[in-house]
């Protein structure tokens, strides 16, 4: 046999496969990401991205740097000192309140023959501490503007409204709520009939008291006028008597 025949057949060589290295995976991001993840885990980053944590830490550090240090207390002296207390004058300081009730007031306009609302607020009767006279004062809510201001004189008459059992009307010869005395006709409407009765009683009581005071005042004024008239009549007589005495004295 020939030497070629006696030789054992060789086993076929296994097909060689290339081994994938870490450099190959790193080209596609595989190996590098794994290494980075492992690196993060080694540092204990379990709550999220390490980059986000680093940014949050940097921001916190920046906030600490931006904080303004506490300064000493600074005291600024005012330019004008309001040391004096300003007192509001209502011209009611010498009066005492004898009646107070909330109502709505209307005024009658003769030209148009219609009622117009005057205001809503507390209606009060104020009695003067010295002369004893009682006047009616009403102020509007919020603004406190006066919408009625007059004495309840003996010549005034109060009458019920035909359209309501809780409303009254009367005419005033001299209301000074607008500054100058003015003749007006007003009406008030109260919450209920009971309040309307209480208001009428207080109104009539004030009128009776004022009637005595106004009557006494008128009597005193009349006496003063009569005394002035007597003086004016006696003065010419005294001058005539003086003239008659002068020639007698010279003779």
Dump pLDDT digits (tens) for 136-164: 999 999 999 999 999 999 999 999 999 89
For 218, the 3-state DSSP assignment is: helix
pLDDT per residue over 115-126, tens digit each?
A: 999 999 999 999
Q: Which pLDDT value is given to residue 224?
A: 85
Residue with the two structure tokens 């359209």 = 163
Nearest to 132 by CA among 90, 91, 96: 96
The predicted model scores a pTM of: 0.58
DSSP state of 46: -
| pLDDT above 50 for 188 | yes
């Amino acid at each position: 046999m020939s030497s070629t025949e006696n030789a054992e057949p060789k086993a076929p060589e296994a097909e060689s496969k290339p081994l994938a290295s870490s450099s190959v995976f790193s080209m596609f991001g595989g190996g590098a990401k794994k290494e980075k993840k492992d690196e993060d885990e080694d540092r204990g980053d379990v709550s999220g991205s390490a980059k986000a944590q680093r940014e949050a830490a940097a921001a916190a550090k920046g906030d600490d740097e931006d904080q303004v240090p506490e300064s000493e207390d600074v005291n600024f002296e005012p330019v004008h000192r309001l040391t004096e207390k300003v007192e509001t004058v209502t011209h009611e300081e010498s009066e005492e309140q004898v009646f107070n009730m909330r109502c709505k007031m209307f005024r009658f306009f003769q030209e148009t023959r219609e009622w117009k609302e005057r205001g809503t607020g507390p209606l009060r009767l104020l009695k003067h501490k010295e002369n004893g006279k009682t006047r009616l004062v009403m102020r509007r809510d919020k603004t406190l503007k006066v919408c009625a201001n007059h004495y309840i004189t003996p010549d005034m008459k109060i009458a019920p409204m035909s359209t309501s059992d809780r409303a009254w009307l009367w005419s005033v010869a001299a209301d000074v709520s607008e500054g100058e005395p003015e003749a007006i006709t007003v009406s008030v409407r109260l919450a209920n009939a009971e309040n309307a009765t209480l208001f009428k009683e207080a109104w009539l009581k004030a009128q009776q008291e004022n009637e005595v005071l106004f009557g006494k005042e008128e009597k005193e004024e009349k006496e003063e006028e009569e005394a002035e008239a007597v003086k004016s009549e006696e003065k010419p007589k005294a001058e005539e008597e003086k003239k008659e005495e002068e020639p007698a004295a010279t003779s």
